[in-house]
Chain A
Amino acid sequence: MTYNSSDNHESKWEKFFKWVNGEQALDSVWEKELKSKILGKRQKRHKSIEDVIDKINAQSKKIYIFFSIIITVTYIGILLYTAVLLPEHGNELNPTNNEVSQRYVENGVNDTGAVNAVSAMILEYRAFDTFGETVALFASIICVAILLKKDRSNLCPQEEREYIEDEKILNADGNGILKFTSRLIFPIVILYGVYVILNGHISPGGGFSGGAIIGAGLILYSAAYGDKNLKHIVNYNSFSKVVCGCLLVYFFSKGYSFFTGGNHIKSIIPKGTPGNILSGGLILPLNICVGAVVACTIYGFYSYFTKGDI
């Protein structure tokens, strides 16, 4: 660690700028000074201060457990009492089954051309919400990449040892069952994922579930054979291009409603016959975009958590 806590002559602003530029960690600037002051004073006064702190901690731990149990039990009791007073489960006259869902079911096919009411709702009526969801996934993969990305040429000794061990395990001929089974299953998994994405508007499924299936297939392949064979197709370049391209396509096809407002159901794209695969206007391309983003994100999570790189 390259903390240079020895030079105390800098002003606070200089320290702050150094922290912003990433040259110095913040805790070395403020916390260490404070701690050395406080702890130094304390150790002089009470030599057995750690014992006292431990005793207080043990007591407060007991109080904490007691109160957390009481709070949870009362909370759950109130909620259970409320659940008893709620309207009956599965009754069609419940206030939740109001004109909103009725309108989605009755006018969904005419408005959007998609047979699946949930797909019509999330990708046509509320398309900007789904855009927000996709951006949330994108943001989380960016955060994971920031936190976990490893530099292959700049590893600490322990990480280097782990890396070499992983390579050994991958290159060993031990996991024959996994390799054979994944060779059988992998094409079927990918095919099923593509099917779920492409049929998102006429059957249960859609971009999120299909993308998760494709991501799981990529994870299976990567776990069995290592990422060397997959590197030609799924590497950092293709990953960023696919994710950013799909998000941009989504934004330019549906994001204008952030500025124009109102519902944007009327579009120049023909809706087609409901029930065919080429129907539903923009729902099919948007499903493909969402599926690609989700697949890349799921595989990205896996590879960042295991290898620290994509």
Chain B
Amino acid sequence: MIKLITTNYFEMTAIILFGIGFMNILLQDNLIKKFIGLNIMDTAIYLYLVSYGYISNRTAPIIREGNWQYVNPVPSGLVLTGIVVSVSMTAFSLALVQRLYKRYGTLSFDEVIKKLRSGEAQNGSES
């Protein structure tokens, strides 16, 4: 078991990073920091997947003749998909945050909820 702790440190790091991102989402009040936490979670998952595709003493899957020793190419494709989806989700959510800021004049999630409940939304730029 102790041997596995020393060899599986990529997965351990990915899980700890995931926890940091999760705590960010739960505890940060600022909405932009919440989405930074979401991006940290994404990064942790990429690290996890890529570390699973890795095989020691093998090269990147650019195939040359006479060499059949390559790392697993499947997780690389998965990570590519993940990066694209994460970029589009981040852009969309940041656009929503910008609209929210224009409407309520604050980035704090609690303040937004408070203003929503008391019904005093600032009219901002909407004419």
Which residue numbers of A lie inside 8 Å of B, CB to CB? 1-2, 31-32, 35-36, 39, 57, 65, 68-69, 72, 75-76, 79-80, 83-86, 88-92, 94, 96-97, 100-101, 104-106, 108-109, 115-118, 121-122, 126, 129, 133-134, 136-137, 139-141, 143-144, 147-148, 154, 156, 158-159, 202-204, 208, 274, 301, 304-305
Do B98 and A148 touch across chains, with their CB atoms under 8 A apart?
Answer: yes
The interface centre, meaning the residue of B51, B70, B83, B88 with most chain A CB atoms within 10 A of its CB, is B88
Chain B contact residues: helix, strand, loop or mixed: helix
Q: Complex: how many Å from CA A268 to CA B76?
A: 28
Q: Size class of B's contact patch?
A: 35 or more
Contact (Cβ within 8 A) A89 B91: no
For the complex formed, measure the closest distance between the CB of B118 and the CB atoms of chain A, giving whole angstroms.
8
Contact between A90 and B77, CB atoms less than 8 A apart: no
Please report the number of residue pairs spanning A and B whose Cβ atoms sit closer than 8 angstroms.
162
Chain A residues closer than 8 Å to B118, beta-carbon distance: 39
Pairwise interchain contact A143-B95, C-beta atoms closer than 8 A? yes
B56 touches A117 (CB 8 A): no
Question: Contact partner of A105 among B51, B56, B63, B119, CB < 8 A?
Answer: B63
Q: In the bound complex, do residue B95 and residue A104 qualify as a contact, i.e. CB atoms below 8 Å apart?
A: no
Contacts of B74 in A (CB 8 A): 100-101, 104, 121
Measured CB to CB, the residues of B under 8 A from A are: 1, 4-5, 7-12, 15-16, 18-19, 22-23, 26-27, 51-56, 58, 60-64, 68, 70, 72-77, 80-81, 83-85, 87-89, 91-92, 94-96, 98-99, 110, 118-119, 123-127
